[in-house]
Amino acid sequence: MTQQGVRWSADQVLALAPDAASRKAGSKLGAAGPWSEAGSSDEGTVWGLCKGSGSKPYQTVVDIADASGPAYKCTCPSRKFPCKHALGLLLLWAGEDSAVAPGSPPPDWAEQWTEGRRQRSEEKRTAGSADSPSGSADPEAARRRAERRAERITAGATELEQRLADLLRGGLAGSEQTGYALWEETAARMIDAQAPGLASRVRELGVIPSSGPGWPVRLLEECALLHLLDQAWLRGERLPESLAATVRSRIGLPSSADGPPVRDRWLILAQYDTADARLTTRRIWLYGADTDRTALLLSYGAAGRAPELALPVGLTLDAEVAAYPGTGQPRVALGEQFTPPAPASIRPPGVTTTQAAARYGEALRDDPWLDSVPITLDRVVPTPASDGWQLVDADTDTALPLTPTARTRPGLWRLIALSGGTPVKVFGECGHRGFTPLTAWAEGTEEAVTLC
């Protein structure tokens, strides 16, 4: 396997940064000045010595060929991950700077680290396949634990039903005054009931009354869907298995990706983070060129820290993924990665706005709680409308409005600039609030432009 020509772009490298400060600091180190003895090997290792404020330079090494995204090691004391030195080194490498000598043998310190890592991951893999049955050492105890949790969730769901009924009996009109505290308290009760999915839905209910005109409609919709989820849990035994699996994952029960591994050339469509006070969630959308399917990787980090998994948008990797249970659920886990991400001219086929709306409707059949589905729109023109922006079909007079979140993102203007009033291909999430563009391609160009 050769690494020649598989360099990343600066954008892709900067997407790995845990925060804006690291982006900036890393950009500054992406020049030859402070670096010495930098090089890259054909096996996908990049290394270099970076002169810092001390007398001894930092030793920085990055393994870009690792199956679970790049791995970093640096002797600097920074707690950021990756640190600015790793980012700077990758930028230097991405810039095809002659300071990073390609195809050279790594120095001992870099060699030791990569060897150690690969050995460990090899051990883990062999151990993993051998250990999986013994993971649940005591199936009886595990079953009892699961039962106890189910009982707690049932108690929680019943309590939540009662609270919803009380709310509807008194009327939603009062919700504007009662404020957020009541919902926070209910959410805490759901956490106690070990139903994090219910808790986060309850928390979202709390912000609807202050979300502007039309809030009663949105509040009733979300209350009704929460009620639907409660009822689905309480009558879980009467649901078909795949729908029951969807309900379990919506409630927040852990599940494992036990679907059969699917190997494909996966185009990395988009990567973006959402954060609340407790958790940073990273979503990575993939498109499989051979299976024609869109899949979602989720990765989590503690609040304020970037999740570990990071993939460069626009590149393609040959890898196996395994699906999580539940019909129509896009979520997968990344399995073995056969090549590092590399450029390829794969683009997802697109649909019209009418087909996109129909797709969302069809997906609700399997999961009525779904807010959006991944869609690639073909030949749409970003167009200003009286109340925001739309993506207008180039050839018909139908359009999808952009979601309120998408309207305030800087990515909107990148999309408008890229289009310049001509049709573009746009990947994004399409749902009842509208369309959220995530990545776009201009006609006649290869480059995927990230919008998130």
Partner 1 sequence: MSSTSGPAAEPVPVTVPTSVAESVPAAESGPANPSAPNLWEELVTAALLGTDRRTPPVHGPGHGHAPGHRHQAPVVLLDAAAVETVRRRAGLRPAQAASRPEPAPQDPRPALPAAAARRLALLLADRPGTGGGGRRGTAPDLMELLPQWLAAANARGFGAPPQVLPALLDAARGRTDLRPAALTFAGSRAVWLARLNQDWRFALRATPGGGAALPRPDDVEGTRRLWQEGLFAERVALLSALRAREPAAARELLTTTWPTERAEDRLMFLDSLRSGLGPQDEPFLEEALADRSRNVRATAAELLSALPDSALAGRMAVRAGACVAVDPMRETPTVVVEAPHECDASMERDGVVAKAPAGRGERSWWFGQLAEAAPLATWPARLGGRTPQELVALPVADDWQGDLHAAWCRAAVRQRNAEWARALLGTPSAPEAGGPGAVSLAERAKLLGTLSAAERSAWVAGFIATHGLSEAFQLLGVCTVPWSGPLGRAVVDALDIARDAGSYPWSFSGVMGLAERCLDPEQANRLEGLTSIPEEAEDASPGAGGYWAEAFQRLVTTLRLRAKMTEELGTPLSPSGV
Minimum CB–partner distance for residue 429 and partner 1 (Å): 13
DSSP H or E run through 418? helix 411-419
What's the length of the chain? 452
Judged by beta carbon, residue 290 or residue 443, the one nearer partner 1 is 443
What is the spatial distance between Cα 337 and Cα 341, in angstroms, rounded to a whole number?
A: 9
Distance from the first to the final alpha carbon of the chain: 32
Q: Give the residue among 82, 75, 77 at the shortest CA–CA distance from 17.
A: 82
Judged by beta carbon, residue 171 or residue 260, the one nearer partner 1 is 171
Judged by beta carbon, residue 357 or residue 452, the one nearer partner 1 is 357
Minimum CB–partner distance for residue 411 and partner 1 (Å): 9
Minimum CB–partner distance for residue 11 and partner 1 (Å): 6
Judged by beta carbon, residue 332 or residue 424, the one nearer partner 1 is 424
What is the spatial distance between Cα 67 and Cα 394, in angstroms, rounded to a whole number?
A: 40
Judged by beta carbon, residue 67 or residue 275, the one nearer partner 1 is 275
Minimum CB–partner distance for residue 168 and partner 1 (Å): 4
What is the spatial distance between Cα 306 and Cα 280, in angstroms, rounded to a whole number?
A: 7
Minimum CB–partner distance for residue 256 and partner 1 (Å): 28
H helix intervals, 136-262: 139-170, 175-178, 181-192, 196-207, 215-234, 241-251
What DSSP character marks residue 33?
T
Between the CA of residue 315 and those of 89, 265, 375, what are the distances in Å?
20, 10, 19
Q: Give the residue among 253, 265, 255 at the shortest CA–CA distance from 295.
A: 265
Minimum CB–partner distance for residue 116 and partner 1 (Å): 31
The one-letter amino acid code at 347 reads R
Minimum CB–partner distance for residue 198 and partner 1 (Å): 15
Judged by beta carbon, residue 16 or residue 110, the one nearer partner 1 is 16
What is the spatial distance between Cα 368 and Cα 37, in angstroms, rounded to a whole number?
A: 57
Judged by beta carbon, residue 19 or residue 336, the one nearer partner 1 is 19
The one-letter amino acid code at 308 reads E
